[in-house]
Structure 1
């Protein structure tokens, strides 16, 4: 009996130990699975965080200062409201051209598709940039290679397989059969990592090894020097031979230069690897090559480095100390499409007359932040974008832009341009120009001779005082005009200045000298920005002639009072107005007609002097179901929130979108 009990106890201990070991193994396995899931989802979280970055920033700002909800309107981009104590607003609400995307200073039109990197594709979709990584389909072939500049691996052909087999015979992975291994697995071994590092070093110091058949040698197809080079350079050198090779390459300068152009010893024939460039260009130590872009930003260059790379399409030299551009500067880069020379010290006298002539494919040229006094001559006729902001341009004559008939974007902000030194015929040849920036100059009137193709015109921070009848006579396609921070009065806007424009949808007249909302506004107007003026009154029927009707009206930071707003002030916009900003004014009550605005989504009345909210000033109880109002700001008034009727906000579906606190106490 005792022996039986003892035997049972031993069995119980063994069983318990086995269970614990299994449980520990299961726990470890679960932990590994959990970690793999975390790693797999990290990229998705990272992408989601990037997409929600702006929303999180807006949410953080909402905790301190009231801002608009960026989720509501894509077209609206409002910065935080500043304190009402005499501080100007930093609103920037005028939308860009419908559907356009702004990417790193470049304009991408709606539905445009581009690849910023070899393994990613981006789409401009109604003003939003959507990017996705290329998904590589699995290959069924036993041997694959990934060509330089390509995203996905491809199947290798017979000649490539022979060279790969030769590599594997020389460096055998331990305890693995050659017919069961692919290149990706072989490179994981330590010996082949050494070989890979050695080959990267040989790219810059050795010439190519070409695999020739015995028949070629017999028939005499190889030149003696090629045959000697092939015999002298084996496919793979051990680590002990690297130093000898380096000394030999240093002693043969001409050979080194030739080999650097031809490439590394492992590259196959271009016929076998389509899309592979002939050789990696020799670059200065502070430059980097990514796909077809050479980047030498903040490299302390005082002159343009000599680079020979016919396959390169983009060169970035921003943030250096370059003074001049000689005629031969870009002879080694004939296929450049984009050139960034911004933030240097380049002068007009330092640019050779033929400096850009060799660039027959150049489409984008950025020379912002230099010391140019006039536009460079002999610019390529292929240019589509030219930026010369923040220079010292003194004049634009008739010939300055004469050959740029494909130019779409021209930016000349922050110079010394005015109607005196800009020839009225300066823009005559720009038949494709649609985007023109002339802000931060010294214009007192709208520049004359604007091209008929112009769609967006930016003239902020000038000294413009009036808008005459002939300013926009020939610009029937114009869609947006930005005139903020000028000296315009409503009486200096001619009645026929723009009233008959059929495509003009957006006007920004913020921070001018307006006392009333201007009359004779364009019939097609959708966005009107009048922030930071001295407006005291909205005249009756001022929006009555507009079709299809004004949708966005921003009157923040003005002097509107109850006497300056009545029922007929918004006549013509009751059916169309979507956003109405009346914050930071002198209103003591809710303006009349708000409850009649059936399309209104966003209403700002914060930072006024409002004391009471009557039941039907904002919501009409009988028509609550038809209301579109989603966001309401009433903070920083004198409202006693406990006295507000329970029906005052009955038309607003989400009470969380009603901002009532804080209120002032007088």
Structure 2
């Protein structure tokens, strides 16, 4: 009897231990709600199958101490067959054996990024897989074969970026009738051999080794809308892009070695091809020729920054009547022809910063009101000659950036039309005076930068009826008379306008904010300021 009792206690003890182990195992998977679960330290699909319940839909595996070893075995794990989403991106490695993910028969989304995979094989996927979203980025895959892709007839999104793919079998994606998105960014492709796919909309082969490119290789992609080829080694582009890609809306060839933009590139069977964004930035283009973009009547964004542009034909932008954003910053533009921007009636943003512009003439923007233009950036140039009426056709400007130029004075006629201006930067110029009439035009101004000029005073702000909406002003780096600065800061404090920047050398005491003068009040006559040598005294400190 005692032996039976001991045996019973042993059985109960074993059962208790088993229950504790099972409870511990179950704690490895956390229920996130709505069929989603987070499982930790999963070593195999067999182990995962023990946890997956009837209503599980999505699983993410997070391992810190082990990877997933998919063992070679014929046993089928039926509990995995209803999962819709599997994320192994944080599984710390994944070894695909013979069965691969064949047990995940209902799987629609598979993320196996960062899994140290070297290849994909057809036996890794179930026949007629239901996967629509496949992310295998950040692995070491070298080859994409048609046999593998034919196992994925429902694929819509494929991310193969950040691998070592040097070869794609011809027409590997031909049978994927639902495919819309392919990303091969950061691989080792030298030639584009994608082949045919009737429904592909997005393709990126950026940051590869593509040097030679001909549009005839893209004729099998008649519905392609976005093509990204940035960060390759392209030097020339063949003519007639839209004969091969008649639906193209976005074309990105930034950061290549392209030396020109030819009008023949945009030849099209249609009068107005659908292109809406053209990114030619970070190349070596030097000249914009006559009517080079004239066929691009639907273009909305044109990025030309960081080229070597030093000459622009007066009719270079002819035909761009839908253009909303023109980015020309970081070039070598020294002069702007008359009427250059006059026909850009839809333009909203124009960036000409970081060029060599010395003069802005009367008719650069033409005589027609550009009602849509709200943002103009002319900062970081060498502008010393700014015609008083140069901006007269831009009364709807909200942001005007003129900082870091060589302006000596401001003319009331320039600002009088700009009644909608909200942001103005004129810091780091050579201004000695801002007239009260100019300040009185700033009815809607909220942000004003006048730092690092040669200003020793401002008009009496207490007498100004404007600047009512001002919220920020930069002051430092000017040779302010201390009495004038006290008046300015008192007015700003009373209006709760921000001006002090604790990180600035001026407000931390490392550089002077003002000049002490013998006068008993703020001197607001420029002749007297010059006679006192206030600016020179400040510059010697």
TM-score of the aligned structures, taking structure 1 as reference length: 0.54
2:139 corresponds in structure 1 to 299
CA drift at 1:328: 4.3
Q: Is the 8 A contact 1:532 1:556 kept in 2?
A: yes
CA drift at 1:541: 2.0
2:273 corresponds in structure 1 to 431
Aligned pair 1:658/2:499, yes or no? yes
Q: Is the 8 A contact 1:281 1:309 kept in 2?
A: no
Q: How does 1:529-540 map to 2 (within 5 A)?
A: 529-540=377-388
CA drift at 1:648: 6.8
Aligned pair 1:544/2:372, yes or no? no
Structure 2 SS opposite 1:534: coil
1:635 corresponds in structure 2 to 476
1:501 corresponds in structure 2 to 344
- Counterpart of 2:179 (choices 328, 336, 345) is 336
Shift of the 650–643 alpha-carbon distance from structure 1 to 2, 3 Å rule, reads closer
Instruction: Quote the Cα distance in structure 2 between the aligned partners of 1:631 and 1:453.
Output: 38
Structure 2 SS opposite 1:402: helix
Q: How does 1:228-627 map to 2 (within 5 A)?
A: 261=102, 263=103, 276-277=106-107, 286=116, 292-304=132-144, 306-307=148-149, 308-330=151-173, 333-348=176-191, 351-352=192-193, 355-357=194-196, 359-372=197-210, 373-375=212-214, 376-419=217-260, 423-426=264-267, 431-443=273-285, 444-446=287-289, 447-490=292-335, 492-493=336-337, 495-520=338-363, 521=365, 523-524=369-370, 525-547=373-395, 549-561=396-408, 564-573=409-418, 575-590=419-434, 592=436, 593-616=438-461, 620-621=463-464, 623=465, 627=468
Instruction: Quote the Cα distance in structure 1 between the aligned partners of 2:348 and 2:245.
Output: 28
Q: Is the 8 A contact 2:110 2:134 kept in 1?
A: no
CA drift at 1:326: 1.7
CA drift at 1:431: 2.0
TM-score of the aligned structures, taking structure 2 as reference length: 0.65
2:60 corresponds in structure 1 to none
CA drift at 1:426: 3.8
CA drift at 1:411: 0.5
Instruction: Quote the Cα distance in structure 2 between the aligned partners of 1:640 and 1:291.
Output: 72
Shift of the 485–450 alpha-carbon distance from structure 1 to 2, 3 Å rule, reads farther
Q: Is the 8 A contact 1:321 1:345 kept in 2?
A: yes
CA drift at 1:632: 0.7
Per-residue Cα deviation, 1:406-463 (whole angstroms, up to 9, x for no partner): 2221111122334476625446657221111111223211534441100111111223
Per-residue Cα deviation, 1:36-73 (whole angstroms, up to 9, x for no partner): xxxxxxxxxxxxxxxxxxxxxxxxxxxxxxxxxxxxxx
Instruction: Quote the Cα distance in structure 2 between the aligned partners of 1:611 and 1:400.
Output: 58
Shift of the 435–281 alpha-carbon distance from structure 1 to 2, 3 Å rule, reads closer
Per-residue Cα deviation, 1:321-363 (whole angstroms, up to 9, x for no partner): 2222221433575532211111122112xx43xx330x33321
Q: Is the 8 A contact 2:275 2:299 kept in 1?
A: yes
- Please, which runs of 5 or more residues in structure 1 have no aligned partner? 1-118, 120-134, 137-145, 149-170, 172-181, 186-199, 211-249, 268-275
1:238 corresponds in structure 2 to none
Per-residue Cα deviation, 1:197-237 (whole angstroms, up to 9, x for no partner): xxx98998445879xxxxxxxxxxxxxxxxxxxxxxxxxxx
Q: Is the 8 A contact 1:530 1:554 kept in 2?
A: yes
Structure 2 SS opposite 1:659: coil
How many corresponding residue pairs? 407
Greater fraction strand: 2
